[in-house]
Amino acid sequence: MQLSGKVALITGGAAGIGRATALLFAREGAAVAMADLNAQAGEAVVGEITRSGGRAIFESADVTRAEDCRRVVERTIREFGRLDILFNNAGIIRRATILELSEDDWDRLMAVNVKSIYLLSREVLPHMQKQGGGSIINTASGWGLAGGAKAAVYCASKGAVVLLTKAMAIDHGPQKIRVNCICPGDTDTGMLRVEAQQLGEENGRFLAEAAKRPLGRVGSPDEIAQAVLYLASEVSSFVTGTALVVDGGGLAGSV
């Protein structure tokens, strides 16, 4: 098992990519702590893991609040004694142009998608430094590397995640802390359906458009989770500062 003896903290762990990663990490031997606003769904994931013989805890938290982030990390350390992997996965989307965005839209999305990474990493890094290393993985997006229509604040937030990841990798590499991000393409999660709703498009048609890429389909949460596992494990021991694109070839034709 690739993560035997490791402890991982996953934000946005109750559904989608976060849930798939929590289940995969547990199968690979990690003790898993999850943070999310959806307590019922989060506790259900804990149940899946523990029924299979794994170790997991859930903490209801708003990861845009410093005190919540501190509480989550403190409980993880208290329960499991260490913290080896941080997967900053919490995220939301707002499909709109600058003219259509409210100031509250901008502030909320930047807080969830970017500020939360700063807050959680600030709490986790001292523990990783004391342990002599660790792995931080942030969820960016293909739209953190290339722009998209009616997605101004989302693109801005994910572009920030990509460069924040690189800056953190430079700062903390000397402490043997690797920092990478994943850049998923369209993935079959609830967020994809939220996008269709925000754009006023029929769900089936929207998914068909999203599948127009070289592999001819959208990704699954399990496929994205495998990329996160790679970056979390020692298989990627010489990889840091990387934005790993996992998008079925969606950006293959981009500059």
Task: Return all residues near 128 (Cβ < 8 A) that are at least 6 apart.
Answer: 83, 84, 134, 136, 172, 175, 177
Secondary structure letter of residue 207 according to DSSP: H
| Whether residue 118 lies in the annotated active site | no
The residue type found at 207 is L
Structure letter (DSSP) for residue 175? G
Contacts of 55 (CB under 8 A, 6+ apart): 26, 31, 32, 49, 80
Contact 112/91 with Cβ under 8 angstroms? yes
**Distance in angstroms (rounded) separating the CA atoms of residues 44 and 187:** 22
Distance CA 245, CA 229 (A): 14
Could you tell me how far CA 12 lies from the centroid of its own chain?
7
Give me the amino acid identity at 80: F
Nearest to 113 by CA among 140, 91, 83: 91
Q: State the Cα–Cα distance between residues 251 and 249, nearest whole angstrom.
A: 6
**Nearest Cα to Cα of residue 12 among 99, 70, 86, 100:** 86
CA distance 247 to 123: 31
Distance CA 171, CA 108 (A): 27
Candidates 58, 80, 154, 206; catalytic one: 154
Active site members: 154
